[in-house]
Amino acid sequence: MSKQLEHDYIGLSEVSSMESSEKLTSDSEGSNGLNLKATELRLGLPGSESPERIDSVGGLDKNGYPLGVLKNLVSGAKRGFSDAIDGGSGKWVFSGSGGSETDLAKGGGLFSPRGGNGGGKHLGGSESNNQHSSLGTPAKNDVVPQSPKPMHEKKPQISAPAAKAQVVGWPPIRSFRKNSMASNLPKNDEDAEGKLGSGCLYVKVSMDGAPYLRKVDLKLYCTYLELSSALEKMFSCFTIGQCGSNGVPIRDGLSESRLMDLLHGSEYVLTYEDKDGDWMLVGDVPWEMFTDSCKRMRIMKSSEAIGLAPRAMEKCKSRN
């Protein structure tokens, strides 16, 4: 059915393409079609203005099941807000309004998951419809536990509203500015007390075998554990990709734990280049010393990392 619609819209007829799109808007069928679709998918009780965000149009006949699950696995720092589209958006409403219970009531309509999509998280279309109709009633609380995975990742926002957002590229500030502001902080004695926790420090992270680099903000983390789980999330897709190429089904809930096995096991180690240009194993020096000296990181195969550890220890000793 969707294919048929697409043919109409593209206008396979001989009419010039500009005309055909005008034709579409003036044609009652076409514009009704768009309006109907928008109405169909509009959440909220009939007749209600529904100023809240509704997010279901795209998911009409999509079965995003595999991707939905993968998105949750890969979410982490990158996909925070796109999860809003998938159904985790309630978190952002909470944090935006301060995370109180009353906001849950107000914002309830906002985060009803996209109808029909994200099947991996919901039990199916009928379930979503139940959610739609339960707007404004206490039943909406059911929505909250139904999406365990996105909840998990959004936890920091709910429990600590003052925590930094982990959305890539938001607010829209250039890296140069971010890094400049980062350097204004603790180093400046006059402001030592004032500005803890702000600014950021982007370093590039590469992974052997991954198609491209990522940048990660070291100031978002306070411990090596936080950093490594963020990196695991960021790069899990690449490792999963490798599994996939062997023909092994890759879209299942085991993938993430499999990656952690890989990282915690012996396949990959996390290393960094310090100010002196030396490559060291991550984790050997105190966290603050690490963030001060780390220029970039590399997730390398452990077979290549032989010989790093001893130098790291020596460096630490010489620094101390």
Work out which of 18, 101, 276, 317 binds other proteins, going by CB under 8 A.
Answer: 18
CB of 270 to other proteins, least distance (A): 19
Q: How far apart are CA 146 and CA 75, in angstroms?
A: 17
When the beta carbons of 162 and 306 are compared against other proteins, the nearer one is 162
**Alpha helix locations (H) across 147-296?**
148-159, 175-182, 224-245, 254-264, 287-293
Per-residue tokens: 72: 């949750």
Per-residue tokens: 320: 């101390």
Residues 164-193 that bind other proteins (CB under 8 A): 164-165, 167-178, 180-181, 184, 188, 191
Q: Of the ranges 89-97, 256-264, 284-292, 296-304, which one interacts with other proteins (CB under 8 A)? A: 89-97
When the beta carbons of 204 and 319 are compared against other proteins, the nearer one is 204
Q: How far apart are CA 224 and CA 313, in angstroms?
A: 17
Q: Of the ranges 75-83, 139-147, 298-306, 311-319, which one interacts with other proteins (CB under 8 A)? A: 75-83
CB of 313 to other proteins, least distance (A): 28
Work out which of 100, 136, 148, 204 binds other proteins, going by CB under 8 A.
Answer: 204
166 CA to centre of own chain: 8
When the beta carbons of 143 and 308 are compared against other proteins, the nearer one is 143
Q: How far apart are CA 210 and CA 74, in angstroms?
A: 14
Work out which of 54, 69, 294, 299 binds other proteins, going by CB under 8 A.
Answer: 54
When the beta carbons of 35 and 257 are compared against other proteins, the nearer one is 35
Residues that contact other proteins, how many (by CB under 8 A): 89
In contact, 272 and 284? CB cutoff 8 Å = no
In contact, 83 and 153? CB cutoff 8 Å = yes
Question: Any contact of residue 85 with other proteins (CB under 8 A)?
Answer: yes
Residues 212-241 that bind other proteins (CB under 8 A): 212-215, 237-238, 240-241
Q: How far apart are CA 21 and CA 10, in angstroms?
A: 8
When the beta carbons of 39 and 129 are compared against other proteins, the nearer one is 39
When the beta carbons of 242 and 283 are compared against other proteins, the nearer one is 242
Query: What's the distance, Cα to Cα, between the start and end of the chain in Å?
Result: 69
Work out which of 152, 195, 264, 319 binds other proteins, going by CB under 8 A.
Answer: 195
SS3 206: strand
Residues 257-316 that bind other proteins (CB under 8 A): none
Q: Of the ranges 31-39, 119-127, 133-141, 285-293, which one interacts with other proteins (CB under 8 A)? A: 31-39
Residues 90-129 that bind other proteins (CB under 8 A): 92-93, 95-96, 106, 110, 114
Sequence-ordered strand ranges (E) for the chain: 202-207, 214-217, 268-273, 279-281, 296-301
Site string for other proteins, 126-165 (x = CB under 8 A): -----------------------------------xxxxx
Cα dihedral sign, 138-75-182-222: positive
Q: Give pairs for 89-95: CB < 8 Å, separation 24+.
A: 89/53, 89/55, 90/143, 90/144, 91/150, 91/151, 91/154, 91/157, 91/158, 92/157, 94/157, 94/158, 94/161, 95/157, 95/158, 95/161, 95/165
Instruction: Say how many C-beta atoms besides its own lie within 10 A of residue 48's C-beta.
Output: 13
CB of 320 to other proteins, least distance (A): 27
Question: Any contact of residue 48 with other proteins (CB under 8 A)?
Answer: no
CB of 307 to other proteins, least distance (A): 26
